[in-house]
Structure 1
Amino acid sequence: MSAVSAPTPHAPRASVDSPSLVIVSSSPSSSRAGTSASASTAPVVASVGEPLPTLDEAMRTHIGRALGLTRGRIEGRGGAADLLGVNPHTLRGKMRRLKIDWSAYRT
């Protein structure tokens, strides 16, 4: 007796419509043939002379912008958690870890 393997709900299936490779380039004429292995591993620089912020700094800035737009509101429709697409409890935890005071954004 042979076992029939059925797709499991946690195993994603490849879609014909979804791309398997995406190449992002700032040059107007880029080709796959001209891409080398060393070019794909080159470090990304924010801008010339400006260091890339740490992940915590980037999250702090992003959460701060969302809190500014919502005037410090975290929960509910139009709250910072809603704008960022995260659970309000998760957002509060990140804010505690990053030492972000939501009341500073209240007006």
Structure 2
Amino acid sequence: GGGIIYGSVDLGADNDTAKLSNLTNANLGGADALNGGLGTDALTFDNVKLEGIARVQNWETIDATNDTQLILDGNLVLGDSGTGTGRLSVDQASTLYGGGGFNSS
């Protein structure tokens, strides 16, 4: 992993696949949005530490793998206006942290 994302990432219409690996808030903190756009989109977080989950938008499938830590400090809405649904998968090595003391691993 490496590099820093600033501004918004918008993959637009059509079906998209993205994988983010070995990143922390130092790499992703400047990103306003990680947007899959319309279509059937899949995002894999591989060993990613991320706060600001509301920035993750319009993905039908999100996989958290390999010690990923996602902080649910806002609303995570799966799917887009065309699909209206989605799936979040968390492997046994990864963790979701939520407000109010809720954690799921």
Q: TM-score range by the shorter chain?
A: under 0.3
Under a length normalisation based on structure 1, what TM-score does the superposition of the two structures give?
0.22
- Point out the structure with the larger strand share: 2
Higher relative contact order (CA 8 A, sep 6+): 2
Larger radius of gyration: 1
